[in-house]
Amino acid sequence: MKLFSKEQIYMADKLTIERQNISSTDLMERAGSQVFNWIHMRLQGAQVPIHVFCGIGNNGGDGLVIARQLILDGYNVKTYVVNCSDKRSKDFLINYDRIKNVTKKWPTLLSCDDDFPVINAEDVIVDAIFGIGLNRPVDPWIKNLFKYFRNTKAFVLSVDIPSGLSTENIPVDEDSVVWATYTLSFVTPKLVFFLPETAKYTVHWEVLNIGLDEDFLMNTTTEVDLIGKNEVLPLYIPREQFSHKGQFGHSLIIGGCYGKIGAVTLASKASLSAGAGLVSAYVPKCGYIPIQTAFPEAMVITDTDDEIITKIDFKITPSVVSFGVGVGTDTKTINAFEDFLKQNKTPLVIDADGINILAKKKSLLQLLPLNTVLTPHPKELERLIGDWKDDFDKLKKVKAFSKKHKLIIVIKGAHTITVFQDKLYVNTTGNPGMATAGSGDVLTGIITGLISQGYSPLNATIFAVYLHGKSGDFAVEKYGYQSLNASHIINYLGDAFIDLFRLPEPPQEEEIEEAEATKKD
């Protein structure tokens, strides 16, 4: 799914009005009606108090449409105008008149802390105060209103985006944003729903289609793509009936040191389970018996040293090499890596201490093949690119780093983001149970296994991040967050592949009837 920027949304809005020959007021009516339908479908006329808070721009205008439609359907509605400025948008004013035509209970004007209404925990708050037009931090009394919302513990439904949340800046503090239970976002989810510092402002989100110009939406490329099953399916390379293991490449996993051989075992296993034809592990001598025993499918090449990698020298011709899991940062290992890089032409995936080595000796970056994949966790990333001010600053720095060194960088996190030059691919699978020892080694293995089979490094990375998360999602159903471990992720990789071709369950008949019954134009 494309994540459109604020400018692109305004452009889509403008083109839709022109091409569909409708007014901006009609478009607002569409948007508000979609939200009304969503509420009506769930509440079915229940008389729970609904407090609709409207700003003075078009987000507020949406709120007025929602309030009017709720009133017309007999809901228990109170409408407020949050008077944050003397200005009013044109469509706000039109809808302000329209609501006055349907009720004697005109919207209440709120201008300061004293005006806050009584709201109970069982009530519903509709937050239509600020949308994507927010352009500065909110006033202190509005902050208090947002805090008040939070204290009431009521269900908060935000329209388009939680009010106070900007699409391009991190909020100054947590009180300057509405903490939404649910956000109904028009056209596109917003990038801030997925960033570590801002994802918390909405527990759930859903996109509402408001019929914007299809041509524009189809043909406009975005800087950010959200990656789910629909996005990875076209990347999948099917297997032919008469294929043999020679066609799926040979992964070479270089890593490990005394006490950290498990990392290589996990990465090697994951690589084979991701579909590599052959897997070899390159480890210090102490790794020979453990890997041969724990993972008989792998071949093992050993260093001359017992405990660390001191020289990278092999006779095989791998299709892809991964370097770094459990490898340590001994000077001898750094030198071995440098010597290897000087003659290597094979695609590379670098993780863990491999990244720490690059951070220690930045000159090695020049030796990396084009489109080398780096998979840092936050600390490793910081060592590599330096500190960042906030999530947006981090993305800016990673993009610049990716462009400068022609690398693919995986920013690991709850929503792992693959960065390639200016483009971001935000993953949607995975869960907190995957924050566990060895999980990253498994991801490295999956990426390596996919490159080995002929996926481009970028496609392999996007696909691997998705599969890794999906396996974790299957595994957590059986093991729970606490007990899920990295080996389980490998065990469920097969289910993640099979799931790609599982069709969504058709809606039940009652659901279809319900949807039809509540549909309004």
Binding-site positions for AMP read 412-416, 440
Q: Is 28 in the site for ligand NPW (CB under 6 A)?
A: yes
- Is the CB of 85 or the CB of 243 nearer to ligand NPW? 85
Q: Which does 135 bind (CB under 5 to 8 A by kind): K ion, ligand NPW, none?
A: ligand NPW
Least spacing, CB of residue 6 vs ligand NPW, in Å: 9
Exposure of 498 in the CB half-sphere (CA atoms within 13 A): 7
Among 89, 319, 402, 452, binds ligand NPW (CB under 6 A): 89
> By CB under 6 A, is residue 134 in contact with ligand NPW?
yes
Which residue has tokens 């300061």? 112
What phi, psi does 462 have (nearest 5°)? -60, -45
Distance CA 3, CA 271 (A): 31
Among 23, 85, 111, 482, binds ligand NPW (CB under 6 A): 85
* Closest CB 208 distance from K ion, rounded Å: 13
Q: Residues 184-203: x/- map of binding to ligand NPW (CB under 6 A)?
A: --x-----------------
Could you list the residues known to form a binding site for K(+), using ranges: 59, 127, 163
If binding is defined by CB under 6 A, does position 86 make contact with ligand NPW?
no
Q: Does 18 bind ligand NPW (CB under 6 A)?
A: no
Cβ proximity to ligand NPW, 147 vs 383, nearer residue: 147
Closer to K ion by CB, 123 or 127: give it. 127
Q: Which of residues 205-264 bind ligand NPW (CB under 6 A)?
A: 210
H/E element, 69:
helix 58-72
CA distance to 78, 123, 200, 349, 406, per residue, from 152 (Å): 16, 9, 18, 49, 50
What is the spatial distance between Cα 400 and Cα 392, in angstroms, rounded to a whole number?
12
Q: From the list 36, 130, 194, 455, which residue makes contact with ligand NPW (rule: CB under 6 A)?
A: 130
At its nearest, how many Å lie between ligand NPW and the CB of residue 409?
Answer: 31
Q: Residues 159, 66: contact at Cβ < 8 Å? A: yes
Which of ligand NPW, K ion, none has residue 136 at its interface (CB below 5 to 8 Å by kind)?
ligand NPW
Contacts 24+ apart (CB under 8 A), 175-181: 175/143, 175/146, 175/147, 176/137, 176/138, 176/143, 176/146, 177/146, 177/201, 178/127, 178/129, 178/146, 178/149, 179/146, 179/149, 179/150, 180/127, 180/156, 181/155, 181/156, 181/157
Distance in Å from the first CA to the final CA of the chain:
25
The only residue of 74, 101, 136, 315 in contact with ligand NPW, by rule CB under 6 A: 136
Return the one option of ligand NPW, K ion, none that residue 9 interacts with (CB less than 5 to 8 A, by type). Answer: ligand NPW
Among 4, 40, 62, 300, contact with ligand NPW (rule: CB under 6 A):
62
* Known binding-site positions: 58-62, 127, 131-137, 160, 163, 263, 326, 377, 412-416, 440-441
Out of ligand NPW, K ion, none, which partner does residue 369 contact, by CB within 5 to 8 A per kind?
Answer: none
Dist CA 300 CA 278 (whole Å): 11
Task: Find the binder of ligand NPW among 107, 131, 413, 445 (CB under 6 A).
Answer: 131
Pick one of 4, 5, 8, 55: the residue that binds ligand NPW (CB under 6 A). Answer: 55
| Size, binding site for ligand NPW by CB under 6 A | 31
Contact pick of 21, 47, 101, 135 for ligand NPW (by CB under 6 A):
135
Stretch that binds ligand NPW, among 23-31, 255-263, 362-370, 391-399 (CB under 6 A): 23-31
Q: Which of the choices K ion, ligand NPW, none does residue 158 contact, using the CB cut-off of 5 to 8 A by kind?
A: K ion
Separation of alpha carbons 131 and 135, rounded Å = 10
Which is nearer to K ion, 158 or 329 (by Cβ)?
A: 158
The token pair at 157 is: 């439904």
Span 153-182, contacts to ligand NPW by CB under 6 A: 159-160
**Are 271 and 293 spatial neighbours (Cβ–Cβ below 8 Å)?**
no
Convert 312-359 into a string of H (helix), E (strand) and C (coil). CCCCCCCCEEEECCCCCCCHHHHHHHHHHHHHCCCCEEEECHHHHHHH
- The residue from 3, 27, 81, 156 that contacts ligand NPW (CB under 6 A) is 27
Chain residues binding K ion by CB under 5 A are 127, 158-159, 163
In a 3-state reduction of DSSP, which class is residue 118? coil
CB of residue 138 vs ligand NPW: minimum separation in angstroms?
A: 4
| Secondary structure class of 19 (helix, strand, coil) | helix
Figure out which of the listed residues 3, 31, 264, 321 binds ligand NPW, where binding follows CB under 6 A: 31
Q: Residue 66's CB: how many other CB atoms inside 10 A?
A: 29
CB of 125 vs ligand NPW, minimal distance in Å: 16
HSE of 198, CA atoms in CB hemisphere, 13 A: 23
How many residues comprise the chain?
521
Identify the residue among 133, 228, 290, 454 touching ligand NPW (CB under 6 A). Answer: 133
DSSP, collapsed to helix, strand or coil, labels residue 211 as: coil
Of residues 127 and 305, the one with the C-beta less far from K ion: 127
Question: Judged by CB under 6 A, which of 2, 13, 180, 231 binds ligand NPW?
Answer: 13
Dihedral sign from CA coordinates of 19, 20, 26, 27: negative
The answer to whether 377 and 401 have CB atoms below 8 angstroms apart is: no
Question: Which of these ranges, 27-35, 114-122, 200-208, 298-306, lies near ligand NPW under the rule CB under 6 A?
Answer: 27-35
Verify binding: residue 127, ligand NPW, rule CB under 6 A: no
Euclidean distance between CA atoms 345 and 192, whole angstroms: 38
Nearest residue to 212 via CA among 480, 387, 19, 421? 19
Distance from C-alpha of 261 to C-alpha of 404, rounded to nearest angstrom: 33
Distances, alpha carbon 452 to alpha carbons 267, 272, 354, in Å: 13, 10, 19
Instruction: Catalog residues that contact ligand NPW under the rule CB under 6 A.
Output: 9-10, 12-13, 27-28, 31, 55, 57-62, 84-85, 87, 89, 130-138, 159-160, 186, 210
